[in-house]
Chains A and B, each alone.
Chain A
Amino acid sequence: MAGVIAAGPEARAAASPRRRRRRAGEVLIEAFLRLNGFIAIAAIALIFVFLFKEGVQAFHTVAPLRFVQGTELDFDNVPQVVRMWQPVGQNPKYSILPLICGSFLVALPATLLATLFGVACGIYLAEVAGRRTREVVKPAIELIAGIPSIVVGFFCLATLATLVQQVLGTEFRLNAFVGALGVSFVIVPVVATMTDDALRAVPDELRQGAHALGANRWETIARVVVPAGASGIVASILLGMGRALGETMIVLMATGNAAQVTLNPFASVRTMTATIAAELGAVPQGGEQYRALFLVGSILFTITFLINLAAEMTVARMRRRLSL
């Protein structure tokens, strides 16, 4: 005992430079990691600031109302209200309505299709498939998520568009519906994997309880498991819709790119994303149209941000409820 006490100060003296060095290393590493964290956050924050800074400048030369609708003199010199996006010409028109219209005309049908297919896939993965099948089907669905959207866009343009026209007899070969089909293909894995996660988070006791009350497998799924995981499924659909609104290459290649205000899902449309992609390369930098495109980008960013936020809040609510 005495020996141990005697050795104490010596040992501490020997260890202390090493410990101090270790402390210094510790502080350095933490500082380095913190720096990385701040750089990453700064880069991300910059996107936000920069996009809106450029976008708001569009209002310096163009009255805000002109982004809703413009006026044009018709043949009798009577001013007519026009809702067009036509940024090149003597009287440039910047109405964003046809673009928003186009975006939703693609995104809503795509989300609807992806909900049907994706939720069914999720239910299949979580509740119906056996362990063996699941081990094969799940990676296969995840693999879909890895297919670059340009590939899907190319497939829509080269093969699917002709097929759809032959089957449905649409007026235009490239239209919103072809785009929606392509986009839904890309977001099905998003919906499917998140639905799967949500359903698997539902505690087994609920299933056992349902079975004990005499419910069969489908009744258990439809009346117990799916309602319990509903917020997760809703979140997956919202996230899918955010992706659908932001999808660029597929809609650029497959929707025909005609900016018009329409509610016909088989019309050629032009989305916000496709407008930016098609025009940014050709505009003079810092000009009116350049800023208008940034404004379109800011609006797109805001819409998707809000949708993603809603999805996140829904997931958070589900976590709270399931942990109770």
Chain B
Amino acid sequence: MSHGISHNGEHETSPSTFDNTGKLAAILIGVISAVAGLLMYWFNPLLNNAASLQGTYIDDLFGVAMGIGTAVFFMVQGLLLYSIIRFHRQADDDEDGPPIRGNTKLEIVWTVVPALVIIFLGILSYQVLVAAERPDPDELIVEVRGFQYAWQFYYPDYDITTSEMHLPVDRPARLKLRSNDVIHAFWVPAFRIKKDVMPDRVTETFITPIEEGTYPIVCAELCGAAHSAMRSQVVVESDSSFKQWVSGQGAAVARASEAAETDPMAQGRQVFNQNGCNACHVLADAGAVGQVGPTLNNIGAEAGAMVPGQAPEDYIHAAIVDPNKFVVEGYPANVMPSNYGTTISEADLKALVDYLMAQK
């Protein structure tokens, strides 16, 4: 049983609470925390180099936050560990500790100092935000379309549409994002840039790539069954390679429309790729390597045998507009979007069915 200390015990200075050992430990913990924080700020080891100008701003800010966070972490854990080791109750000691109920000065300090640190971090964050979203008159505009489960990029300056994004290095780009169906989020981890892609409005984000290379584009907002397969990539290249790529794409478009006269399959192939079928299915003719749904390389030959009594054209048509009607064994239902009947025009749908029928 503990024995009460009289009420004036409050004023007693207690040797065991903040003696020289305690002071020394507190100072040591403070120094270690500061050093750890500075090291973390300096090396910023958790992030690889950013590939965009905005990313470098964000990384610098992250480094500052990481430095402060590391210092706070070491300080709290240090004080905690020191207390656990030092103030362990002795086995035969049933006395209470010193009745200290507070210390106004200390309490003001640990309210005001964190508030100042927070204000500092807030101001810094605001500056970075303004810098990261500054428009530029020389912007390259890219219109990004997200749909279940693929990305599409339209370059209004060149009138080309692609399923892979290309950006010239060091030239600011403004992305205008829009979704065909649910909310997606356009994220390029290497750029540190993420923006939700909404069905009912256009959102914008700014990227100035500074490092040539190929980086993944990831959908970061849950968008349905094949959310994790909704990926693409962005190629950052020199201005000349970019121009070459653009003219190549332009030529491909021209070829396709020319070919449409002679090659009845061109339209179907285009419908296949522009509606994201390529994101989930394998189809050699269209260069599609998606891993979510069944392989379609021989669909024209196989369709007739899928459902007894069903004409192959009807089977393919149904499988597109009502994908849950005949789910291929080994693949889950409710993965493929069920609204292609409304999003693809009647003519395009016919071209797509004809195209798939020809895959034998």
Tell whether A pairs with B: no
